[in-house]
Amino acid sequence: MKIGGHIKEIRISKGFTQTELSEKSGIAVRTIQRIENSEVTPSIYSLNAIGAALDVKLNEFPIDANGGKFEFKIVISNFSNLFVDIKSLIIRNWKTLLVLIILVFGTLFYKDLKSLLVISNDNSIISISTINCGSKNECDIELLKKDNKGKVLWKCIIGGTSYDRASQVLRTKDGSYFVIGSTSSFGKGNYDVLVVKVSSEGEILWQKTYGEFLNDYGLRIAAVEDNLYQIEGTKQICKTVNVSNDCYDQEWLFKIDESGLVK
């Protein structure tokens, strides 16, 4: 059984609702829902916070990463064993880890690098990344500007109390930036498409979400006409009102103007 299933069983056995567990642990309700549904792998912070609220040691349960197809089983009884556990993990799975590293770096440098950074006329670099995963705020989006010597000129942090993930940054004609990604901190559903417009000085001009109750993800943005931008993402389609095994992701294209209005 996955760790989310263990958490759900323990919560129910102790008579806690998801809302009560959220209040006791400080973890957002939607994050607890996604953990129990095995939609995300909980961070160490989340495990410790939920474990303390339930009065159990969750880090003693093995974490099943992929439904039995491939799994890392990590048990850290205390901090002194951390490096021993990591070493054992690497020794047992070094071939698979090497393949994963090659695939990740290959995909990053040959496909996604242009989506993650923009080089300006003055040779300054604007980059976007997902940060703080595993902290109290789970994941945030960081927009960072550096000069041609690597000095940080400014940075802009985007996000709320749950998972916020970066996909692309695009420079507009007026010198500002469009940031596109996905958020579960804001919007109507589990995940929504997130678009943020940031000024050339790193100030958030506006922030909007697009989507409904289920999982909608923002992937790319491109200028297609004067003052119009096309958003490429995915929209989750389910036969029921809730996420289930009958759900699938459908390509979703729509256009917005400079102010974020759908056209």
Q: If pLDDT is split at 50, 70 and 90, which confidence band does 229 have?
A: very high
Range of the domain at 53: 3-75
CA–CA distance, 4 with 12 (Å, rounded to integer)? 12
The pLDDT value given to residue 79: 47
Q: What is the pTM of this model?
A: 0.59
Query: Which of the residue ranges 42-51, 163-172, 204-213 would you say has the lowest mean pLDDT?
Result: 42-51
**Is the pLDDT score of 66 beyond 50?**
no
Q: What is the mean pLDDT of the segment spanning 209-214? A: 90
Name the region of 174 (left: φ>0; alpha: ψ -120 to 50; beta: rest): alpha
Query: Which of the residue ranges 32-41, 68-77, 94-103 would you say has the lowest mean pLDDT?
Result: 68-77
Q: What is the largest CA-CA distance in the chain?
A: 61
pLDDT in tens, 105-132: 655 554 454 566 666 666 788 999 999 8
Higher pLDDT: 98 or 31? It is 31
Q: If pLDDT is split at 50, 70 and 90, which confidence band does 3 have?
A: confident
pLDDT in tens, 172-206: 888 899 999 999 999 987 899 999 999 999 999 99
User: Does any domain span residue 81?
Assistant: no
User: Does any domain span residue 232?
Assistant: yes
Helix boundaries (H) for the chain: 3-13, 18-25, 29-36, 44-54, 82-107, 113-116
Query: Which of the residue ranges 49-58, 152-161, 235-244 would you say has the lowest mean pLDDT?
Result: 235-244
Q: What is the mean pLDDT of the segment spanning 45-58? A: 85
**Is the pLDDT score of 61 beyond 80?**
no
CA–CA distance, 64 with 199 (Å, rounded to integer)? 43
Q: What is the mean pLDDT of the segment spanning 32-49? A: 84
User: Does any domain span residue 97?
Assistant: no
Higher pLDDT: 62 or 122? It is 122
Residue 24 tokens, joined:
């006791």
Same domain, 137 and 253: yes
Higher pLDDT: 21 or 241? It is 21
Same domain, 69 and 127: no
Q: Do the Cβ atoms of 47 and 55 come closer than 8 Å?
A: no
**Residue 177 to residues 69, 71, 225, 232: CA-CA distances in angstroms?**
41, 39, 17, 17
pLDDT in tens, 141-154: 999 999 888 899 99
Output the average pLDDT for the chain.
81
The pLDDT value given to residue 62: 55
User: Does any domain span residue 93?
Assistant: no
Higher pLDDT: 252 or 74? It is 252
Same domain, 15 and 144: no
Same domain, 132 and 253: yes
Q: How many domains does the chain have?
A: 2
User: Does any domain span residue 85?
Assistant: no
Same domain, 133 and 244: yes
Q: If pLDDT is split at 50, 70 and 90, which confidence band does 246 have?
A: confident
The pLDDT value given to residue 29: 85
**Is the pLDDT score of 65 beyond 50?**
no
Where do we find the tokens 């040691």?
A: 57
Q: Mapping DSSP to helix (H, G, I), strand (E, B) and coil, where does residue 260 land? A: coil
**Is the pLDDT score of 55 beyond 60?**
yes
Backbone angles phi, psi at 258, to 5 degrees: -60, -25
User: Does any domain span residue 13?
Assistant: yes
Q: What is the CATH number of the domain that holds 67?
A: 1.10.260.40
Q: If pLDDT is split at 50, 70 and 90, which confidence band does 71 have?
A: very low
